[in-house]
Amino acid sequence: MEYSKLVDVYEQLNKTTKRLEKTHIIAEFLKEISIDDMEHVILLLEGRIFPNYDAREIGVASRLMLKSLGIAIGIGIDKIEKEWKKQGDLGLVAELLVKTKKQATLHSTKLTTKKVFENLRKLAEIEGEGTVERKTQLIAELLTSAKPVESKYIVKTILGEMRIGVGEGAMRDAIVWAFFGNKIGIKYAREMNDIEVEDREVYNKYADAVQSAYDVTNEFALVAKAAKSKGLDALENIGMKVGIPIQVMLALKVDTIEEAFETVGKPAAIEFKYDGFRIQAHKGEKGGIRLFTRRLEDVTKQFPDVVEYIKKHVKGKSFIIDSEAVGYDKKTGRYLPFQNISQRIKRKYDIDRMSNDFPVEVNVFDIINFEGKSMINEEFEKRRKLLEKIVKQEPKKIVVSKIKIVSEKKDVEKFFKEAVNAGNEGLMFKSLNSPYKPGARVGYMIKFKHMMETLDLVIVGAEWGEGKRARWLSSYTVACLDENDDFLEVGKVSTGLKEKEEEGLSFMEMTRLLKPLIISEKGKEVKIKPKIIIEVGYEEIQKSPTYESGLALRFPRVISQRIDKGPHEASTLDYVKKLYAGQKKS
């Protein structure tokens, strides 16, 4: 497929903010893609080069891109940088400069999606001596052949700045509409503000099948190929693979014990809600163990102690188990807050020392696959009994999560106190007869905490400080996520961080994290690529005409960095509105 066809789709998507219209554009495009092109075209459409569970990175920052543009277009970096400061977007700069450059100096070879994809994947493989030069040449090769508008999207893809609204929901629905639309009877409204579905029940069947296939593969390309080639049967037979992480089951939040019982039923299983981080552990038939976070990041190397615990204490030739790794104080045995062990997740050096200084206990609470058989459709009670059979518990290494079966409020209150006294956040409620539903908040699992809810927000902007903070980015613009997967600002936060690194999350550390993500700079203010997510506390949520969300946080403060979450796991605008409405009632 010619790259220009994909670029035309990018342009169409950029011209609308309506999710239904975006979905329709994607659906019509999916019909045109051949099976052979499906994998790389869909990844490029999502703004990716690798599936989201693949840790490989292109490793190209703005400075290297400036150099590549200079080579491809034949002008000085200073001139490109000047235009960048003016436009605030390197993709737009590339389009403008290629357009104004005499065409005689540029090749006219037509780019294909495969050529773009292959060149970009090669960027991740280059290492060692001469890395910068070789990467620069690969990028320049593409830009030299690119039309102006193509160059814009090549740059945006490389820098990870493709914000065209192709979120998980839009992609799922587009696959349903593209390959099953005639069976559902979809009719589009005149202005794409709405759709009509002749048979809603049939639509839900196909949508659930697409979502379920994605939840166990984490690749829309595989899902689309299956749907296009063999239809519903192929989707329903897509199986999980040990070693490839699946979307973990997510929990709803409730404010009262009564609401929790109403959601999951009676009797219910209640467990400690640990303040740790999710670990999905995979053991293959050859004995290899891999560990993934809820963001699907491979952290096997960072946690050799956990690998050893699982290898010695969990029976079975192959399995996928769901667990929470919780830090604890070696002297008192008391559980510690997440931030005490969070630094281990990104650590690449001194692994053994970190394991000793910041030990974790693995609390196993579910099993997803055992001996090659999927367990997700088995009842929770059965999955739990299997766990208790195969896990040989050793406190402060690996245990099965503490659980009670209850029907009375007083029993919940007693267990809640026990959980909090042990250093935990609260309780989880679980339905005894429920399946494991990857990636969905469907009411099978409930969080219950007695405290003001915090928000997980993405940093989308920052400001250089003054005086002794002049060298730091010390004020951060934060945003929530709307239904189109766009980030909407809800305020600025500048308190909660430390001035000395040894005291906790510091301004210096945050500056180090954010500087490589700067998209543009104007005076003291910078725009930040949405990647870093932080937990934010606040006194109140207010209506506000200042921010595009329509809401603002009063007296916000940074509580911690959520390195266990990605930007698209940020708190949603709907959730912020729910908290706003709830505080008005109280």
Q: How far, in whole angstroms, is CA 367 from its chain's centroid?
A: 22
- The helix (H) or strand (E) run that includes residue 510 is helix 507-514
d(CA 318, CA 390): 12
Question: What is the amino acid identity at position 451?
Answer: M
Q: Residue 349: count other Cβ atoms within 10 Å of its Cβ.
A: 6
Query: How far, in Å, are 8, 65, 97, 317 from residue 101 at the CA level?
Result: 22, 18, 6, 61
Residue type, 201: E
CA nearest 6: which of 81, 111, 131, 77? 111
Nearest Cα neighbor of 412 from 558, 256, 284, 277 is 256
Domains observed in the chain: 48-159 (1.10.3260.10), 252-448 (3.30.470.30), 455-585 (2.40.50.140)
The yes-or-no verdict on residue 214 having pLDDT over 80 is: yes
Read off the tokens for 195: 């759709």
Residue 262 — pLDDT band, cuts 50, 70, 90?
A: very high
In the DSSP assignment, the letter for residue 162 is -
CA 504 – CA 560 distance, rounded (Å):
9
Residues 6+ away with beta carbon under 8 Å from 408: none
Nearest CA among 541, 538, 534, 547 for reference residue 576:
541
487: amino acid identity, one letter: F
Q: What is the pLDDT of residues 378-426, one digit of tens each?
A: 999 999 999 999 999 999 999 999 999 999 999 999 999 898 888 788 8
pLDDT at position 107 is 52
Using one digit for the tens of pLDDT, what is the confidence trace for 570-581?
Answer: 999 999 998 888
Is residue 85 scored above 70 in pLDDT? yes
Instruction: Return d(Cα 226, Cα 94) in angstroms, integer.
Output: 37
Cβ atoms 368, 216 nearer than 8 A: no
- C-alpha 512/C-alpha 516 separation (Å) is 8
- Tokens for 503? 């005291």
pLDDT at 465 over 60: yes
Per-residue pLDDT of 373-384, as tens digits, reads: 999 999 999 999
Distance of CA 472 to the CA centre of its chain: 27
Q: What is the mean pLDDT of the chain?
A: 88
Cα gap 151→244, rounded to integer Å: 33
Rg, Å, the chain Cα set? 25
Compute the distance between CA of residue 88 and CA of residue 86 in angstroms, rounded to an integer: 6
Q: What is the pLDDT of residues 124-150, one digit of tens each?
A: 888 888 888 999 999 999 998 899 999
Does the annotation mark 266 as catalytic? no
Alpha helices (H) along 47-167: 62-73, 77-87, 90-100, 113-125, 131-145, 148-159
pLDDT for residue 290:
95
The pLDDT score that the predictor gives to residue 386 is 97
Length of the chain: 586
The tokens describing 66, both together, are 């400036």
d(CA 247, CA 218): 7
pLDDT value for 442: 79
Q: Is 379 exposed, middle or buried (0-12, 13-18, 19+ CB in 10 A)?
A: middle
How far apart (Å, rounded) are the C-alpha atoms in residues 252 and 263?
Answer: 9
Angle at CA of residue 119, ends 115 and 125, nearest 5°:
145
What does the pLDDT read at residue 368?
96
Average pLDDT over residues 8-31: 91
Please name the residues in contact with 389: beta carbons below 8 A apart, sequence gap of 6 or more: 315
Largest CA distance in the chain: 81
Give residue 63's pLDDT: 86
Q: What type of residue sits at position 6? A: L
* 156 SS3 class: helix
First to last CA, the chain: 57
Q: What does the pLDDT look like over 152-194, one tens digit per residue? A: 999 999 998 887 878 888 899 999 989 998 777 676 554 555 6
Check 225, 273, 529, 565 and give the catalytic one.
273
Provide the whole-model pTM: 0.74
Tokens of 474: 């010390």
Rounded Cα gap, residues 429 and 406, in angstroms: 10
> Residue 23: is its pLDDT beyond 50?
yes
Tokens, residue 451? 């405290």
Residue 584 has a pLDDT of: 55
- pLDDT at residue 103 in the model: 47
For residue 230, the model assigns a pLDDT of 87
Residue 189, pLDDT score: 53
Q: Amino acid letter at 293?
A: T
Query: Mean pLDDT, to the nearest integer, of 279-291?
Result: 93
